[in-house]
Amino acid sequence: MDKIIRATAGDGFIKMAVINAKDLVQRACDIHSCTPTAAAALGRTLCAASIMGNAMKEENASLTIRINGGGPIGSVVAVSDAEGCVRGYVEDPNVDLPLRDDGKLNVGAAVGHDGMLTVSRDIGLKEPYIGSIELVSGEIAEDITSYLLESEQVPSACALGVLVDTDRSIKAAGGFIVQLMPGAPDDLISKLEDNIFYMDQLTTILDEDGTDEVFAQVLKGLEHHIVEECPVSYRCYCSRERVAQALSVIDRNDLEEIIAEGKPVSVKCQFCDSDYSFECADLKAILEAEK
């Protein structure tokens, strides 16, 4: 089962969250028919959004990560609710690139790094909080780390990974974000940095040992305490009623022109590919409801 596990260590100076997201990333890739490179880009972004969204405790809050680095994949978008359940898409899920020299998927080249990473947090106020940074590498984890430091002033380390099997199924997916609280002693920081530097490849750990081993390697030599476990999934909130509401804000004259053409309107959800069809009678009912 996909879940986020949160823990503290180092007398409370370290906070860490780990996500195991194999099933939700598989679901996203099935919906969008992603190539391995697109699967890695989308999966990493979904994992980051899930961890960050799950940290928002306001009811009905949501968090959106949007990445556009000018690469061939186009925009990568992930939206999380306050539980950490996510949905997302890549603009061109068909993009695939040769592996890097080290044998890894070339997410950085697909995403590009000439652009921005934007995080929008909606907690029900009049306007959402929006923070943006210039992309560092397009590899996503480095960019999230940079965002957390620059925009939110929180020293952090982030690792994200998606392991795609030879049959293009998702073998492992997940990541972690570890953050240092103000006043953390230098020796604690050094130990954490060393642990992360020497840890095994993230997707290998998730595939062979699971989330417990991620904590064990990142927090090696540090006593840690699990404080929360939350199940997460790929979840889209679209519905026929929501699409009808969106159609109701179209200019009345434009809607009347569509009706006059006598053709049904088909609207496809970006996040789950559900298709909603509205006949002329449905559109007329929407017009009548506006009066």
Residues of the chain with pLDDT > 70, as a percent, come to 99
Quote the pLDDT of residue 215. 97
Token pair 């009912």 in the structure block, residue: 285
Cβ atoms of 154 and 179 closer than 8 Å = yes
Largest distance between two CA atoms of the chain: 72
Q: Is the pLDDT of residue 23 over 70?
A: yes
Grade residue 246 by pLDDT with cuts at 50, 70 and 90: confident
Please determine, for residue 218, whether its predicted confidence score (pLDDT) is greater than 80: yes
Reply yes or no on whether the pLDDT at 74 is more than 90.
yes
| 120: enclosing H helix or E strand | strand 116-122
Judged by DSSP in three states, 198 sits in helix
Distance (Å, rounded) from C-alpha 80 to C-alpha 12? Answer: 26
Long-range contacts of 221-226 (CB under 8 A, 24+ apart): 221/191, 221/195, 222/9, 222/10, 222/14, 222/188, 222/191, 222/192, 223/9, 224/7, 224/8, 224/9, 224/14, 224/16, 225/7, 225/8, 225/9, 226/5, 226/6, 226/7
pLDDT at 291 over 70: no
pLDDT tens figures, 26-59: 999 999 999 999 999 999 999 999 999 999 988 8
Mean pLDDT of 190-219: 96
**Structure confidence at residue 3 (pLDDT):** 97
| CA–CA dist 109, 98 (Å, integer) | 10
Counting Cβ atoms within 10 Å, is residue 260 exposed (0-12), middle (13-18) or buried (19+)?
exposed
- pLDDT in the model for residue 114: 95
CA nearest to 128, candidates 55, 64, 67, 51: 64
Could you tell me the two tokens for 158?
């982030």
Asked whether residue 289 carries a pLDDT value surpassing 80, the answer given is: no
Residue 132's closest CA among 149, 145, 115, 151? 151
Helical spans, DSSP H, in 33-185: 36-54, 107-111, 141-150
**pTM for the full predicted model:** 0.93
State the average pLDDT for the chain.
94
Task: Give residue 162's pLDDT.
Answer: 97
Q: What is the pLDDT of residue 79?
A: 98
Residue 178, pLDDT above cutoff 90: yes
